[in-house]
A and B are shown apart, each in its own frame.
Chain A
Amino acid sequence: MKQTTEVSGGAAIKRSRLSLRRKQGLIGWAFLLIAAGLIVMMNFYPMVRGFMLSLQTGVGARMEYSGFVNYSRMIGDPRFRQTLITTFTYLLVQVPIMLLMGLALASMLNNKGLKGRGFFRTAIFLPCAVGLVAYSLVFRQMFSFDGLINTILVSSGILETGHNWLGTAWSAQLVIILGLLWRWTGFNMIFYLAGIQNIDSSIYDAARIDGANVFQQFWKITIPLLRPIILLTAIMSTNGTLQLFDESFNLTGGGPGISSMSMSHYIFNTAFTGNPTIGYASAMSFMVFLLVAILAFIQLKVGDRR
């Protein structure tokens, strides 16, 4: 008799533990419900809606499904092609320079004997505190025709007359690239600095004893060991550059013509200004998503190889 109560008592404890676990599991779901729900509602759901919109043509309430018309329209749209090429120019020129400079700065700042480390780190990191619109306007002022850069170049005799930086296609693109380098190099440097600090310094000591100079150490130790972080920053930068908007809109206004306009800027113009064509803009938006996904996939494939 006594035994049976003990057994059933044990089972009761076990059962109440189980239900306690289940109760906690449910509380866990309740805690994360709002956050997870919002992400689904604000990211995944609009993504699907956007794709559906991309299959429609027409205006306002008179939208109707028309297959992949919007996608074939992209192929014949010289403006789309132009903004695609411009965006990839920014990506292919700016990102490699920025990542290399970030790496170089980080390995210099990792030098224990360096004087003024804190100052250099703060100074180079500082542009990250400046908003994208704010720095775009500062660069626009500096590179305007009667702006600071021309004044300096002319008065120092490098140029005879000022160059119309923002009124010339190649230099408008160049100014955007310079702006991006200014704003984001320090951002990437911080990631590399954190990564380098995790590398065992005895590896460098051993390399030095074997006679490796600083450049060999950089290429043979720092870069290979930082590969996961370099991969992360490369994906972040690719993602960011393909979405570039604030600089195109505020620094150059996309001009002259549309020669420095980014894809997001063109999508914005197509969807929200003049004669809005929501369906076509949605198709281009979906294209940006595909490009981000494909490039991230390629980078993961290439970067993860051991």
Chain B
Amino acid sequence: MRVILRVGMYVFLSIAAFLSIFPLFWTAVSATNSTPDILAASMLPGTHLIANFERLLELSDLGRAFWNSTRNAVILTAVSVTICSLAGYAFEVFHSKAKDRLMGILLLSMMIPFAAVMIPLFRLATSLNLNDTTLGFMLPTLSTAFLIMLFRQSTRSFPHEMIEAARIDGLNELSIFFRIYVPTMKSTYAAAITITFMAAWNVFLWPRLIMMSPEAVTMPMLISNLMAGYVTEFGVVMLAVLIATLPTIIIFLFLQRYFAEGLLGTIK
């Protein structure tokens, strides 16, 4: 009985792991194959990687999309993490009844589905002439209750004596935050940066609404457009998907711990 259970467990886990990895493996393999090879279900790397890449450059503005995605995600992550960590810090270090109540209200925003605000947000962004701009891209997710909460919870474990000591040394509150708090909370920042960047890199619906000019295209939009344009060269599409996915996969593989911590941040 014991042995059967153990074997069953390994079988179950192996199947789950295989199914999880396989679509990504197949994407990577298909990116190097020609359409006939892919249709023949080839599971081996082929020789069409460069041909697929050249075709992809012909069909789409890959360089621009990659640059746009990188720029948008980096700027959004930097600004958002700064604003939200400052707020999370303040909610904890300068806490008062009124601030706790405000935090409770802000948390309610996590229950608002994007579908419920996208039309007014679109009209707002358009009336402010923010279409096709990085600011327009960032606006809805610049500040999130989730990130504020992540920093508020982590600040609980930050030694308040350090703040008192710094005040006696004559540092003002803003320099205490930037020179004492930020360097001490490196792992919380790593977690926040990882999940914010990954979300920003992959966001689709909002840029699909306001980044309508071809110059503002982002990676998720580029691959979506390729497919909608009925590009029948499977290898080319899979290569584009692979390029759109690689940055977040690399971040995941190297920073998995921080990514998980970021997701779990608010339940501690």
Interface contacts (Cβ under 8 Å), in number, total 258
Q: Are the C-beta atoms of B220 and A131 separated by less than 8 Å? A: yes
What CA separation (Å) do A137 and B109 show in the bound complex?
Answer: 31
- Report the minimum CB–CB distance from B107 to chain A (whole Å): 10
Asked whether A191 is an interface residue with its Cβ less than 8 Å from the other chain, the reply is yes
Q: Which of chain B's residues has its CB closest to A30's CB?
A: B90
Asked whether B142 is an interface residue with its Cβ less than 8 Å from the other chain, the reply is yes
Q: Which of chain A's residues has its CB closest to B177's CB?
A: A31
CB contacts (< 8 Å) of B70 on chain A: these are none
What CA separation (Å) do A54 and B237 show in the bound complex?
Answer: 39
| Given contact pairs A27-B94, A35-B83, A36-B102, A146 touches B39 in the complex (Cβ within 8 A) | yes
For the complex, would chain B's binding face be called helix, strand, loop or mixed by DSSP majority?
A: helix
For the complex, would chain A's binding face be called helix, strand, loop or mixed by DSSP majority?
A: helix
Chain B interface residue count, Cβ-Cβ cutoff 8 angstroms: 85
Q: Are the C-beta atoms of B121 and A42 separated by less than 8 Å? A: yes
- Report the minimum CB–CB distance from B128 to chain A (whole Å): 11
The one of A229, A239, A246 in contact with B204, judged by C-beta atoms closer than 8 angstroms, is: A246
What CA separation (Å) do A226 and B37 show in the bound complex?
Answer: 47
Q: Are the C-beta atoms of B106 and A50 separated by less than 8 Å? A: no
**Complex interface bits, A269-306 against B, C-beta within 8 A gives 1, otherwise 0:** 00110000010011001101100110010000000000
Interface centre among B27, B39, B117, B220 (most CB of A within 10 A): B117
What CA separation (Å) do A278 and B118 show in the bound complex?
Answer: 11
CB contacts (< 8 Å) of B219 on chain A: these are 131
CB contacts (< 8 Å) of A282 on chain B: these are 119-120
Interface-forming stretch among B13-21, B49-57, B59-67? B13-21
What CA separation (Å) do A111 and B12 show in the bound complex?
Answer: 14
Interface-forming stretch among A5-13, A69-77, A182-190? A182-190
Q: Are the C-beta atoms of A134 and B9 separated by less than 8 Å? A: no
- Report the minimum CB–CB distance from A177 to chain B (whole Å): 14
**Complex interface bits, B48-89 against A, C-beta within 8 A gives 1, otherwise 0:** 000000000000000000000000000000000001101101
Interface centre among A50, A105, A194, A282 (most CB of B within 10 A): A50
What CA separation (Å) do A186 and B9 show in the bound complex?
Answer: 17
Q: Are the C-beta atoms of A182 and B23 separated by less than 8 Å? A: yes
- Report the minimum CB–CB distance from A51 to chain B (whole Å): 9
Q: Which of chain B's residues has its CB closest to A189's CB?
A: B16
Asked whether B182 is an interface residue with its Cβ less than 8 Å from the other chain, the reply is no
Q: Which of chain B's residues has its CB closest to A144's CB?
A: B234
Q: Are the C-beta atoms of B227 and A239 separated by less than 8 Å? A: no
**Complex interface bits, A121-156 against B, C-beta within 8 A gives 1, otherwise 0:** 011111111111111011111100010100110010
Q: Are the C-beta atoms of A120 and B96 separated by less than 8 Å? A: no
| Given contact pairs A111-B9, A131-B220, A148-B26, A232 touches B267 in the complex (Cβ within 8 A) | yes
CB contacts (< 8 Å) of B123 on chain A: these are 49
Q: Are the C-beta atoms of B264 and A191 separated by less than 8 Å? A: yes
Q: Are the C-beta atoms of B245 and A194 separated by less than 8 Å? A: no
Asked whether A93 is an interface residue with its Cβ less than 8 Å from the other chain, the reply is no
- Report the minimum CB–CB distance from B198 to chain A (whole Å): 7
| Given contact pairs A46-B124, A131-B220, A194-B267, A246 touches B112 in the complex (Cβ within 8 A) | no
Q: Which of chain B's residues has its CB closest to A291's CB?
A: B113
CB contacts (< 8 Å) of A224 on chain B: these are none
CB contacts (< 8 Å) of A214 on chain B: these are 5
Asked whether B93 is an interface residue with its Cβ less than 8 Å from the other chain, the reply is yes
CB contacts (< 8 Å) of B39 on chain A: these are 146, 151
What CA separation (Å) do A272 and B263 show in the bound complex?
Answer: 32
- Report the minimum CB–CB distance from B17 to chain A (whole Å): 4
Asked whether B223 is an interface residue with its Cβ less than 8 Å from the other chain, the reply is yes
Q: Which of chain A's residues has its CB closest to B8's CB?
A: A108
Interface centre among A42, A101, A108 (most CB of B within 10 A): A42
Interface positions of A (Cβ within 8 A of B):
24-25, 27-32, 34-39, 42-47, 49-50, 53, 101, 104-105, 108-109, 111, 114, 119-120, 122-135, 137-142, 146, 148, 151-152, 155, 182, 185-187, 190-191, 194, 214, 229, 232, 239, 242-243, 245-246, 249-250, 263-264, 267-268, 271-272, 278, 281-282, 285-286, 288-289, 292-293, 296
Top 10 nearest A-B pairs (CB, nearest first) are A28-B94, A131-B202, A129-B252, A31-B90, A35-B87, A38-B143, A46-B120, A123-B17, A32-B87, A49-B120
Interface positions of B (Cβ within 8 A of A):
5, 9, 12-13, 16-17, 19-21, 23-24, 26-27, 30, 38-41, 83-84, 86-87, 89-91, 93-96, 99, 102, 106, 109, 111-124, 139-145, 148, 173, 177, 198, 201-202, 204-205, 209, 219-220, 223-224, 227, 234, 237-238, 241, 244-245, 248-249, 251-253, 256, 259-260, 263-264, 267
A selection of 22 A-B contacts at a CB cut-off of 8 Å is: A28-B93, A28-B99, A35-B84, A35-B148, A39-B145, A42-B141, A42-B143, A44-B112, A47-B112, A104-B12, A129-B252, A132-B204, A133-B223, A134-B241, A135-B23, A137-B241, A148-B41, A243-B115, A264-B114, A264-B205, A268-B118, A293-B111
Given A101-B16, A123-B16, A285-B118, 18 more A-B residue pairs with CB atoms under 8 Å apart are A28-B96, A31-B173, A39-B109, A119-B17, A124-B13, A130-B248, A134-B220, A139-B23, A155-B41, A185-B16, A186-B20, A190-B264, A194-B264, A214-B5, A232-B267, A272-B209, A285-B117, A292-B112
